[in-house]
Amino acid sequence: EQEAVDFLEKSLVRKDHIRDDAITTELLTELDYLPLAIAQAAAYINTNKTSISEYLRLLKNTDEDLVAIMGEEFRDNTRYKDSANAVATTWVVSFNQILENDEVAADLLAFMSCIEWKAIPRSILPAVRPEARMVSAIGTICSYSFAVQRDNEDVYDIHRLVHLATRIWLRQQGRWTKASETAMEHLAEVFPSCDWENRTIWREYLPHAVLLSKTEQGNGIQDKYKLFLKVGLCLWKDGRIQEALTWLQESYQWRKSNLPENHPSRLVSQHSLAIAYSANGQATEAIELLEQVVKIKGDILAEDDPDQLASQHVLAIAYSANGQATEAIELL
Q: In whole angstroms, what is the distance from residue 150 CA to residue 195 CA?
A: 28
Distance of CA 175 to the CA centre of its chain: 16
Q: In whole angstroms, what is the distance from residue 215 CA to residue 221 CA?
A: 10
Please tell me the predicted confidence (pLDDT) of residue 78. 54
- b/e sequence 145-172, b meaning 16+ C-beta within 10 Å: bbbeeeeeeebbbbbebbbbbbbbbbeb
Please tell me the predicted confidence (pLDDT) of residue 166. 87
β-strand pairing of 147-149 with 155-158: antiparallel
Spans in the chain with pLDDT lower than 70: 17, 63-85, 217-220
Please tell me the predicted confidence (pLDDT) of residue 122. 96
Please tell me the predicted confidence (pLDDT) of residue 74. 59
Q: In whole angstroms, what is the distance from residue 328 CA to residue 17 CA?
A: 80
Stated pTM of the model: 0.82
Query: φ, ψ for residue 212 (rounded to 5)?
Result: -65, -30
68-76 CB contacts, 8 Å cutoff, 24+ apart? 69/168, 69/172, 70/165, 70/168, 70/169, 73/164, 73/168, 74/161, 74/164, 74/165
CA dihedral of 50, 53, 54, 60, whole degrees rounded to 10: 140
Please tell me the predicted confidence (pLDDT) of residue 293. 93
pLDDT in tens, 38-95: 888 898 899 988 899 988 888 777 766 656 666 665 555 555 555 556 777 788 888 8
Please tell me the predicted confidence (pLDDT) of residue 7. 93
Packing angle, helices 131-143 and 103-114, rounded to 10: 70
Please tell me the predicted confidence (pLDDT) of residue 57. 86
Please tell me the predicted confidence (pLDDT) of residue 240. 96
Q: In whole angstroms, what is the distance from residue 279 CA to residue 317 CA?
A: 10
Please tell me the predicted confidence (pLDDT) of residue 95. 87
